Amino acid sequence: MNINPTRFIVVLLLLVLAAPALMMQQPIGQATAAAAGAAELAPEPRHRFASRLASRFMTSYHYRSPELDATFSQRVFDQYLSVLDPNRMYFTAADVEALSEYREHMADAVRTADLEPAYEVFNIYLRRVDERVEHAVGLLEEGFDFTVDEDYHFDRSQAPWAGSSSELDEIWRMRVKNDWLRLKLADQDESEIVETLTDRYENLQRRIHEFNNEEVFSFFMNAFTRSIEPHSAYMSPRTSDNFEISMRLSLDGIGAMLQRETEYTTVMEIVPGGPADLDGRLQPGDRIVGVGQGDEGEMEDVVGWRLDDVVDRIRGERETVVRLEVLPADTGMSGPSKEIRLVRNEVRLEEQAASKEIIELPAGDAVRRIGVIRVPVFYVDFEGRSRNQPNYRSSTRDVRRLINELKAEDIDGLLVDLRGNGGGALVEATTMTGLFIDTGPVVQVRDSRGNVKLEQDNEPGMAWEGPLGVLVDRRSASASEIFAAAIQDYGRGVIIGEPTFGKGTVQNLIDLDNMARDEQTRLGQLKLTMAQFYRVAGGSTQNKGVIPDIRLPTAGDPDEYGESALEFAMPWAEIDPTDYQRVAELGPLIELARHRHEMRLETDEELIGLLEELAEWEENSHRDSISLLESVRREEMEKAEARRTARFGGVDEVDSALDDDLEGESSVAEGEDDDEEDLYLIETARILSDLIDLDQERLLAHRQTDR
């Protein structure tokens, strides 16, 4: 990693920080009274100093250089309310109107360090939380009638603010009724349900009252940074410490990126090489509703908890057991939930290393051998590289070795599998591209002043000159997109899969502690977007990502995922192309291969089954409400169980490749049949095999024409 001798650390990873901004906080607006007996929160001198520094760096060095005007202030105001009340369960429209006196001054509050309004908002928010919890606990004394036909709208993030307290009462009645019904469907009796939910709501209240001055400052500063664009962030001293631990890969846990969605902690990404990845059952989109310690520890209900607190429960000493109760993504809010037992461990580099396999396909009377190299992340031992150690570890070196091994096994084509690869070292994206082109530019990097730097492959020759495919999905990002874009622009291979994430920006870390007035004062760090990637053909990978030459059928609308779905994401842009030489024009062959792929979608039984599963998933994916009729919920749960039984033969301990494929990634769970097919990988290999056939037919036709 390049380290600037001043205070900037170039971050070359896709950094997805599940910020505490998704937690709840306090509002501004009327009288500032927190819960009885609770001290009101207020900014500290170090927060004011950090605020001024952050404002200066954001306006001077950010790629966008925001203007701190009234329009931007309104954006910060809305973001802060969203940080505090993302599901619009606490504030009313009247609250928001009362708070609007701050709407045009929030950005200036950061510049001038006038932070009182942010803390006033937060203190009022505490009052609203107390009111809602009191109401929710009171509802438990009344019980519910589950024969009444009504729906609970669990996603209110885009709904209007409630018009009155009585409207909020009704929203919370539905929420509590849904919570009760879910526990009833899990076979808890009435007394257990009342105890569980009372604890849940009182814990929610207690945890929100545990927020301190530091955390409120962090919430407000992240509302400010994310009003510029989504990858800039303020990291408190605690968050900075956790980030440095994760960069060293020495944090023991399960290896999953988590985020807060409505009242649930949701799995955003499974880290390659971690315990969850090796186990195979926990999947992106799963909602964690309970955490238990050891094999016998009580399962703690974590619905409504702060993200940090859930993470703290999941982390622990190496080789210890943690049990997760999850609502699987493929069964939705109706359940049923399932329990996953994991053994905590560190994410091991060797488990993230590139790996290989061979897929054999029929090709007339012969067998075609397609080599596959899986690259989970673009990794490099920076220290060994800087010391010029002869055997330092890197993804490029490992891939070169694997290519040589596959060539010795007489492969006919090569697939590079980048599904779920969130990025890594820019230098590795450049050098790995160099394994498949002779020499030339790989990516253009433009800074905020408009200066463009070329990252080039200067090593002559190719490790693999034969047919090449690159498999990507919506979670292929950053360095993965640089590699795939270069292969596509050079015409060196075919890109297959989903449109990629679309993260085409570069972040630097600014350590504010270096500017503190004394060594004891900690100010945190800023993650600042300071440059943008552009393809050699001139277009950016930002926002649009890399569009595959042949798309595979997948769940969901590409526009609802990735960078383009993030608020205030930087737009796609274009600069002049650089000087490079295309290897081939693959368009005509790709069109013919796409036709063959589409024919298989209509005739291949496994692919037809996949399409049916995707259609069923699609049907339920846009639901923002759920029935509160017990009969309907039981029927939905029974159907989900029946589908799972039909798919897995009644075994719930392992998930099929299809579940993985719904997320665009394949893994083999412990104890799972190694012959379980990864349908996306198999079909991608077939597409590459088709291209080989079509190219041979083209060459044969040319020879016959020449005669």
CA atoms of 555 and 616, how far apart (whole Å): 9
List C-alpha distances in Å: 229 to 66, 398, 603: 10, 35, 45
- Rounded to the nearest 10 degrees, the angle between the axes of helix 116-140 and helix 165-185 is 60
Residues 6+ apart with CB under 8 A from 36: none
CA atoms of 535 and 546, how far apart (whole Å): 10
β-pair partners for 264: 261
Q: For residue 239, give the H/E element and its range.
A: helix 237-247
What the block records as the tokens of 621 is 């994916």
Contact 628, 151 (CB under 8 A): yes
Residues 6+ apart with CB under 8 A from 464: 403, 407, 414, 435, 436
Antiparallel, parallel or unpaired: β 468-472 and 413-417 = parallel
User: Residue 496: which of 270, 684, 655, 701 has the closest Cα?
Assistant: 684
Does the active-site annotation cover 184?
A: no
Does the active-site annotation cover 489?
A: yes
Given 478, 564, 627, 666, the catalytic residue: 478
β-pair partners for 417: 374, 471
Phi, psi of 433 (to 5 degrees): -60, -35
Given 489, 549, 655, 661, the catalytic residue: 489
Place of tokens 């926990």: 282
Contact 283, 663 (CB under 8 A): yes
Given 503, 544, 678, 689, the catalytic residue: 503
List C-alpha distances in Å: 356 to 185, 405, 431, 479: 44, 9, 19, 20
What letter represents residue 470's amino acid?
Answer: V
The sign of the CA dihedral 26, 309, 83, 289 is negative
What the block records as the tokens of 629 is 């009729």
User: Residue 302: which of 292, 82, 132, 19 has the closest Cα?
Assistant: 292
Q: Which residues are tagged catalytic?
A: 478, 489, 503
